Amino acid sequence: MRFTTRILLAATLTTVLTACGSTLSGAPLPGETDISTLDVGSYPTEPLNAHDDDPVPPFYKMYEVAAMRLADFVINSGEIDPAMKYGKRARSVSAGVMPWALGDDGVMSPIAKTHKLLYGFESSGASRDTSVNTLGGWPSKRDDNELTASTMVFQFPTAEQAAAAAQEFHDADLAAQEDRNQPVDLPDYPAAKSHWRPDSPFLRTLLPHGPYVIAFLLSVESPDQQALVTLAQTAYAKQIEALDKTTPLSDKEVMTLPWDPDHLAMRTLNPEELTSPDGSGFYLVTGRHGILHYSGDPLPSDRGYIAEQLTKMDAQQVALSWGSIGIRTPDAATARRAVTEQLFPWQVEADADAAPNLPDSACVENRSLAAPKRFSCILAYNEYVGIVSGNQLLDAQQRAAAQYALFANTR
């Protein structure tokens, strides 16, 4: 009887541990590679929640999680005008650090704090692969950069707070321009608050929309108020349409949002095993649309090429993890096709030796300046695709092997 009880207890304990944990080790499944034979270097091969609960971000980082959710409903510059195909990075926004595209951070941040900004998101792009200078006064740009756009969306607790914040943002910024700027009306959006400088090709505009404030910093080829008005009205129409597909969050909901509920970030190689979400592109999870905001940094600036590659593999969700990329596709066949077609989000130069003993994988040498590292490898495991990079081929191969092991250990 005691022997039978012990057997039942052991079986029950095994079931509980398997259900609660996220790591399966030991013999590989039929047809799988034995991960103990792979050269993974010093890289981790178990998920961050292998021996503990899922990491929970500290409360002061939850605005990052909310911003990642919002990213899928923020338009990028190419949606305003297809000529703006280059991304110039994106980031999450908190009341403590406001985007300079909105105006002087030292002026805007106290206003955001007064009206209890919950979170926000900023995305920038241009028709040339160059940036806008927004620091230290009215913005400027290179003459050959005809069109530029920074899209900003901020959520406040109530519509009243959003409206008050929008008015104060506008008033403070206009006052800071020392009478060199003039208000501009947008006929289609009479509630918008806009101004420009007649000798400059830029327009800054804000619009309260429910508990949100939508803002743009836009520029055209030369000082042309009507062209700026047309561009701004196009931008508002598309951003409002996108924003109406989601729902605002309460302050309590922001604090309780799930971080990485599908465990894609957990499955993606994280060399230093850092757990805090970072909406500036280091450690995040978002959808196929949201990830395009990160063209320019850390992804390549050609947003159109990235979108094309992700569409080919029908990417459902994308994680960026300290230089590694994890992608969930619909099924294993699609993931394997991403490898055979080498669907990297950047241009490659030539094939390189694949990681030894690693199935469904390929390595390449990247085109100069097209990617942050010289070599990259792509691999598939079930419906997941991993992309890793290194300046030495061996390093990229070891990262690929570690990524495969991490996928295998996170079933």
Q: What is the pLDDT of residues 32-73, one digit of tens each?
A: 788 889 999 999 999 888 777 888 899 999 999 999 999 999
Start-to-end CA distance of the chain, whole Å, equals 35
Band (6; pLDDT cuts 50, 70, 90): very low
CB 156 within 8 A of CB 117: yes
**Which residues span the domain enclosing 273?**
27-56+259-408
Same-domain pairing of 71 and 143? yes
Provide the pLDDT for residue 31. 60
Provide the pLDDT for residue 52. 76
**Any long-range contacts for 328-336 (C-beta under 8 Å, 24+ apart)?**
328/262, 328/264, 328/383, 328/384, 328/385, 329/383, 329/384, 329/385, 330/383, 331/383, 332/380, 332/382, 332/383, 334/383, 335/360, 335/380, 335/381, 335/382, 335/383, 335/384, 335/385, 336/360, 336/380
Mean pLDDT of 164-190: 97
Provide the pLDDT for residue 17. 35
Task: For residue range 308-353, list pLDDT tens digits in order.
Answer: 999 999 999 999 999 999 999 999 999 999 999 999 999 999 999 9
Band (410; pLDDT cuts 50, 70, 90): confident
**Secondary structure element (H or E) that encloses residue 312, with its range:** helix 303-312
Provide the pLDDT for residue 48. 84
Residue 17 lies in a domain: no
Task: For residue range 253-280, list pLDDT tens digits in order.
Answer: 999 999 999 999 999 999 998 889 998 8
Same-domain pairing of 303 and 223? no
Question: Is residue 99's pLDDT more than 90?
Answer: yes
Beta strand residue intervals within 144-272, DSSP E: 148-155, 182-184, 193-196, 202-209, 212-219
Residue 93 lies in a domain: yes
Distance CA 206, CA 102 (A): 9
Domain count, the chain: 2
Provide the pLDDT for residue 368. 83
Residue 1 lies in a domain: no
Question: Is residue 96's pLDDT more than 70?
Answer: yes
Provide the pLDDT for residue 4. 39
Question: Is residue 19's pLDDT more than 50?
Answer: no
Distance CA 122, CA 50 (A): 34
Listed residues 243, 277, 306: the one ending a domain: 243
The reported pTM is 0.90
Distance CA 92, CA 99 (A): 9
Same-domain pairing of 148 and 276? no
Question: Is residue 135's pLDDT more than 50?
Answer: yes
Query: Between β-strands 317-321 and 212-219, what pairing exists: parallel, antiparallel or unpaired?
Result: unpaired
CB 379 within 8 A of CB 404: yes
Distance CA 363, CA 375 (A): 7
Residue 338 lies in a domain: yes
Question: Is residue 12's pLDDT more than 50?
Answer: no
Residue 14 lies in a domain: no
Return the percent helix, strand and coil in the chain, to nearest 5.
35, 25, 45
Same-domain pairing of 42 and 85? no
**Secondary structure element (H or E) that encloses residue 389, with its range:** strand 384-390
Same-domain pairing of 96 and 123? yes
Residue 250 lies in a domain: no
Same-domain pairing of 201 and 230? yes
Same-domain pairing of 69 and 179? yes
Orientation angle between helical segments 105-114 and 159-176, nearest 10 degrees? 160
CB 318 within 8 A of CB 288: yes
Same-domain pairing of 139 and 230? yes
Same-domain pairing of 112 and 221? yes
Distance CA 388, CA 374 (A): 11
Same-domain pairing of 52 and 67? no
Listed residues 243, 274, 289: the one ending a domain: 243
**Ramachandran angles phi, psi of 151, nearest 5°:** -100, 130
**Secondary structure element (H or E) that encloses residue 228, with its range:** helix 225-243
Same-domain pairing of 67 and 204? yes
Mean pLDDT of 296-311: 94
Band (29; pLDDT cuts 50, 70, 90): low
Same-domain pairing of 44 and 182? no
Residues 6+ apart with CB under 8 A from 88: 124, 125, 126, 131, 132, 296, 297, 301
Provide the pLDDT for residue 10. 39
Listed residues 243, 270, 303: the one ending a domain: 243
Distance CA 309, CA 315 (A): 9
Residue 20 lies in a domain: no
Neighbours of 16 (CB within 10 A): 10
Chain position carrying tokens 């509920």: 261
